[in-house]
Amino acid sequence: MKKLGKFVNTRIGLFTVLVVLFWLKTLFAYFTDFKLGATGLFQYLILLINPLAVTALIYSFAFYLKRARFFYPLLMGLHIANTLLLYLNVIYFREFTDFMTIATMTGYSKVNQGLSGSSLALTDPHDILYWVDIVVILVLMLFRVIRFDKRALASHLSFAFTSMSLALFGVNLSFAEMDRPQLLTRTFDRTYIVKYLGVDAFTGYDLVKSEHINNLRKSATKEELEKVKKFTDKIYAKPNSSMFGIAKGRNVIIIHLESFQQFLIDKKINNQEVTPFLNSLYHSKDTYAFDNFFHQVGQGKTSDAENMLETSTFGLQQGSLFATLGSDNTFQGAPAILNQRAGYTSAVFHGNVASFWNRNNVYKNLGYQYFFDASYYDTSGDKATGYGLKDKLLFNDSVKYLQHLQQPFYAKFITVTNHFPYTLDDEDKDSNFQTTDTGDDNVDNYFVTAHYLDQSLQEFFNYLKKSGLYENSLIMIYGDHYGISNSENTSLASVLGKNSDDWTDFDNAQLQRVPLMFVIPNSGGQGKIYHTYGGEVDVLPTLLHLLGISTHRYIQFGTDLFSKQHKQLVAFRNQDFVTPHYTSLSGKIYSNKTGKLAKLTKKQQEKLKKDQEFVTKELSLSDSLNEKNLLRFYHPKGFKAVNPANYNYSNGLKRAEKIEKKKGHKSTSLYSKNGNKSTANDYSTDAPERDHSSTDSNRIQITNPDANNK
Ligand code: GP9
Ligand code: MN
């Protein structure tokens, strides 16, 4: 005790005690108030060490002050400020299951309004533990039990502390990168950054990022908007009159096929179809399908696909638009347009935590009325894999919510089971399906999870038919991006009947095709497979035109795939591109016919140069639109700007039921139409987990505190 007393009376001693105290408080927050969902020994190890480095780094700055009357106030001030930041995040997390960004702190964010009086009511008796050390130390200082040490640290020693903390932070960062590559460049989830680097590092990182965005936005002018508008006006393609409005007034059901590539369609392995159900849809007379449709995502993967489909603008060159800009961006996207033009109710069903890809914030800016995230489902035990609820359960367990939505609705289902690393419990595997034997686990397992996804879709379609939803819906199915990465494509080559030895970049590019199908039952049986070249930015205008909604007034970078004026030039996010005849990769032009470098005439060269210029221009204009948030200056006819403060995703079911009640016999929900009876019995699934009541180990963390009222 005496020794400790002596130690605290030195500068290094007090510094060490404060660093340790803050470390303990952070760990306390990690394990009680925050739900960070750490799994596995390595993640726990990172969790344990992550507050140490940054705390030591920050506190070490006090050493540079030589005089005791400056050193002590600064050191204590830093400790208090640091505790305050942690504590405010604790309170904030209790309300929003999210961490405070600079935008929320400064009141700039319209989505989450920062802490209000009501959030302060969210205090808990154990909060005392966050503050008690400070009170004790201040009292001890007052009574001279802790005495000020007059001896300053030599400059080289102070410097040693700072650089040691920096080095420790480097170790922390590299551990984090090992476990979660591209943690900072992709920024998929604030929770992840806190989990790996701590609250301080997250706040610092967010400060740098938001400073950059703020500067960009401040400099934005209306003229820049005009430039964008001029471009999108010029590329606008008018609807094909034979397709315009053929699905008018129908529900729109969107099925996001995770990591699903076009090569899976009609693929047979050991003489068995991988996705027999999707294949049957693909060839159906009710389906308008595309076989030259490409994903265009960047680092934002799923979220980039969502952004393109909802807004017909591109994702960003770096990082995810959802994560970096989505909390504050002005969108003029599908849920708002459909609601305002045709009275659609909008909802997303997704069995992962709401904060992933910042969806909890972005969806509000898009105008989504409901978001049924993991907290609405039982994801315990074997019901989920790494990214959330298994697909068969997602569809089955969503029906109880879906049936209460007023029709017409725009409902998006984001599947997850067919996600890297493509692991599936044995109980979910179809014993009749024999996958490939390439020796590459990812490739071999990919077919197994794709097969599972196909089965889950079939079960859902059976329900749609039985419940009557099918007939008055348009079901749009698409793959979000590749599942097998370029580095693994050589393992895939033999499965595709190719030779891995002469696999090229051209082959990689061709594999970026993903499915796109519009299933429109009873639409005249004109469905077929279109060979038009297009990409994810083209979906929104195509869809709106099918629903009979004109799009000329909006700023959209894609064009209607059915239109005769649609330009068949598909830009990838890295400025490569594909046309019906050529594929341009890092400036090299391949012929699609031969797969080899193309021999071009002068005229063809000129034409391709123009195409490249077009691609560069559209990407950079889309970036300027989003980075500078130019849509805030744009007011298309009849469009009311979305106010995110109007949306709240807790108690979704109760809210829908309340609307049903209020509307009475005018309610158009499936439930009301069914004589106020549930349609859940129309659903039949062979998912083995259905009746497992195990709640032992949650594979993903449920983070919504309102979970039990739903
Ligand atoms: C997570 C899921 C996966 O919720 O949508 O995103 P991805 O890793 O494919 O971008
Ligand atoms: Mn994805």
Q: 136-194: per-residue pLDDT in tens?
A: 999 999 999 999 999 999 999 999 999 999 999 999 999 999 988 888 777 667 888 89
162 pocket-lining for ligand 1 (C-beta < 6 Å): no
Give me 379's structure tokens.
């994801």
Phi, psi of 614 (to 5 degrees): -60, -45
Mutating to test ligand 1, I would choose from 189, 192, 258 the residue with most ligand atoms within 8 A of its C-beta, which is: 258
The pLDDT of residue 183: 80
The pLDDT of 616-643, averaged and rounded, is 97
Q: 360-401: per-residue pLDDT in tens?
A: 999 999 999 999 999 999 999 999 998 999 999 999 999 999
Mutating to test ligand 1, I would choose from 349, 387, 414, 480 the residue with most ligand atoms within 8 A of its C-beta, which is: 387
Task: Say how far apart CA 158 and CA 152 lie, in whole Å.
Answer: 9
**Angle between helix 539-546 and 301-311 (nearest 10):** 40
664-694 burial: b if 16+ Cβ within 10 Å, else e: eeebebbbbbeeeeebeebbebebebeeeee
Which of 111-120, 130-139, 529-538, 589-598 is least confident? 111-120
Percent of the chain exceeding pLDDT 70 equals: 95
Look up the pTM and report it.
0.86
Angstrom distances, CA of residue 56 to CA of 25, 93, 204? 14, 25, 15
What is the distance in A from the centroid of ligand 1 to the CA of 302?
5
The pLDDT of residue 237: 98
598-607 burial: b if 16+ Cβ within 10 Å, else e: beeeeeeeee
Ligand 1 closest atom vs CA 353: 4
Task: Say how far apart CA 282 and CA 275 lie, in whole Å.
Answer: 10
Strand partners, 288: 518
Strand partners, 597: 590
> What is the band of 708 on the pLDDT scale with cuts at 50, 70, 90?
very low
Beta strands 577-578 and 529-535: pairing type? unpaired
- Helix (H) / strand (E) containing 710: none
The pLDDT of residue 534: 98
Give me 224's structure tokens.
């820049």
The pLDDT of residue 703: 38
**DSSP character string of 72-101:** HHHHHHHHHHHHHHHHHHHHHHHHHSSPPP
The pLDDT of residue 685: 97
What is the distance in A from the centroid of ligand 1 to the CA of 301?
7
Answer yes or no: is pLDDT of 8 > 80: yes
The pLDDT of residue 36: 86
Q: 636-664: per-residue pLDDT in tens?
A: 999 999 999 999 999 999 999 999 999 99
Answer yes or no: is pLDDT of 308 > 90: yes
Name the residue with tokens 């060979």: 531
Query: Nearest residue CA, atom 7 of ligand 1?
Result: 302
Answer yes or no: is pLDDT of 701 > 50: no
Q: How many helices (H) does the chain have, and how many strands (E)? A: 25, 16
101 pocket-lining for ligand 1 (C-beta < 6 Å): no
Task: Say how far apart CA 412 and CA 368 lie, in whole Å.
Answer: 10
The pLDDT of 457-484, averaged and rounded, is 98
3-state secondary structure 126-142: HHHHHHHHHHHHHHHHH
Q: 120-131: per-residue pLDDT in tens?
A: 778 899 999 999
> What is the band of 700 on the pLDDT scale with cuts at 50, 70, 90?
low
Strand partners, 535: 294
Answer yes or no: is pLDDT of 69 > 60: yes
What is the distance in A from the centroid of ligand 2 to the CA of 354?
15
Name the residue with tokens 């040490």: 149
Strands (E), 216-257: 251-257
CB 376 within 8 A of CB 710: yes
Give me 631's structure tokens.
């849509």
192 pocket-lining for ligand 1 (C-beta < 6 Å): no
What is the distance in A from the centroid of ligand 1 to the CA of 701?
15
Q: Supply the mean pLDDT for the chain.
A: 93
Task: Say how far apart CA 277 and CA 436 lie, in whole Å.
Answer: 20
Name the residue with tokens 């969902």: 37
**DSSP character string of 353-376:** -TTGGGHHHHHHHHT-SEEE-GGG
302 pocket-lining for ligand 1 (C-beta < 6 Å): yes
Any idea which ligand is nearest the CA of 388?
A: 1
